[in-house]
Amino acid sequence: MSVTRIPEAQEYILHWGEMGSHWGVNRSVSQIHALLYLSDRPLHAEEICESLSLARSNVSTALKELQGYNIVRRTHVVGDRRDHFVAELDLWDMFMAIVAERKRREIDPIIARLGELSERMAGREEIPGHVRQRIGRMHEFISTLTGWYLQVRGLKKSTLIALMKLGSKVARFVPGSSTPNN
Amino acid sequence: MSVTRIPEAQEYILHWGEMGSHWGVNRSVSQIHALLYLSDRPLHAEEICESLSLARSNVSTALKELQGYNIVRRTHVVGDRRDHFVAELDLWDMFMAIVAERKRREIDPIIARLGELSERMAGREEIPGHVRQRIGRMHEFISTLTGWYLQVRGLKKSTLIALMKLGSKVARFVPGSSTPNN
DNA sequence: CATTTATTTCTGTAATTTCCGAAATTAATA
DNA sequence: TATTAATTTCGGAAATTACAGAAATAAATG
């Protein structure tokens, strides 16, 4: 019996689906994720179809997508040869997995593209300086942010959580940042 | 004369528009932003229409949206009573403005919703414990992340940049995180 | 105050994306 | 290897979203 019978779980699933679509994630994909997240046992595709009234094929595609994000994985249930699926339950790991995949899909190609553009424009006097500069700056900016992310991502989970709990207190360790605000 | 004549600028604009649509931002909106970012002078709506071959109405809506994000602002040019528009050129400020607005629109409502749900389920024995727990944990997780963001956001820009340049070295200030990796 | 010009709102259409159902493929058991 | 069941792929229908053009509103100048 599925969590779908619980009105609050239903709401959660619908809301999660809604949210996904505002961040470029297919609604079915995020709904299925929400369902698996709330389920206390592995579900097979058929069950997901029924619970969310989605087409079998749709569920198949969505599950592949979720596995691509590394936030859902296949398992097997004894005496049942169908694939079953469970969601990552550690929210920190889930979050990091999503960020990593979005970076790979969305950010890395942008950096590559901006890099090409910058290089292609370098030294060409017929192109206004401000255009070259601004595209260059954008490239630099995104690269810097991404570099920071890569470094921080390499830290232990516990360290990261400790840093987060520190909040704005981290500023104490930056020389010459005595005034608290902008 | 518009930057649109430069093939590299064109590419930048198209690519930027493409990217926007992967993050839940209307293509016209992000294209217009890219155009203004590359322009060295304020543009009026009509110019934008021509440069990007968009309908006047479309441009109007998009400009309102960009102003809502606080990354484009109106200006006036002497001897011309039309509104002109310029983009925020400081990429850090731009980034922070976008994050702030997306938080307001997308994250805050989620937190509110999850809070309601958690509260509504509290103590109701007929709802499985794991469902209550997991929705509760999600609420807590997103709230924590957001809390951290709010704190960090309050720091001086220079401090933030200094922290970023520190990269993974910030871990030094966390007690007992001597081992470098997960 | 009338006229011109800029801007926004509204509505129908076009384009894109999502999703279903059928067909094809793959895997598992006997 | 044949048979059955599970899964994936594919093409088109349905729904959503973006967009253009017209109409309405607002602002500015003479």
Task: Give A15-37 pLDDT, tens digit per residue.
Answer: 999 999 999 899 999 999 999 99
Q: Examine the pLDDT at A182 and tell me if it is beyond 80.
A: no
Distances (CA, A) of A110 to A63, A117, B93, B161: 27, 10, 20, 22
pLDDT of residue A52: 94
Q: Examine the pLDDT at B140 and tell me if it is beyond 80.
A: yes
pTM above 0.85, yes or no: yes
For residues A86-98, give the mean pLDDT.
96
- Which protein residue lies nearest to nucleotide C7, measured between its Cα and the C1' atom? B60
Is residue B82's beta carbon less than 7 angstroms from any atom in nucleic acid strand D? no
Q: Which H or E element spans position A85?
A: strand A80-87
Distances (CA, A) of A176 to A148, A170, A182, B42, B128: 21, 13, 13, 37, 52
| pLDDT tens-place string over residues B18-65 | 899 899 899 999 999 999 999 999 999 999 999 999 999 999 999 999
Q: Examine the pLDDT at B182 and tell me if it is beyond 80.
A: no
Shortest Cα–Cα distance, B166 to chain A (Å): 8
Among A95, A155, A168, beta carbon nearest to B171:
A155
For residues A111-130, give the mean pLDDT.
95
Q: Which nucleotide is nearest to B46 (CA to C1')?
A: C6
Crossing angle, helix B129-153 and helix A7-22, to 10 degrees? Answer: 40
Q: Examine the pLDDT at B132 and tell me if it is beyond 60.
A: yes
pLDDT of residue B167: 85
Is residue B22's beta carbon less than 7 angstroms from any atom in nucleic acid strand D? no
pLDDT of residue B51: 92
- How far apart are alpha carbons B176 and B182 in whole angstroms? 13
- Which protein residue lies nearest to nucleotide D21, measured between its Cα and the C1' atom? B55
Q: Does residue A165 or residue A176 have the better pLDDT? A: A165
**Strand C CB-contacts below 7 Å:** A 21, 26-28, 53-58, 81; B 21, 44-46, 56-57, 60-61, 63-64, 81-83
Among B137, B154, B156, beta carbon nearest to A91:
B137
Q: Examine the pLDDT at A168 and tell me if it is beyond 80.
A: yes
pLDDT of residue A44: 94
What's the pLDDT band for B81 if we cut at 50, 70, 90?
confident
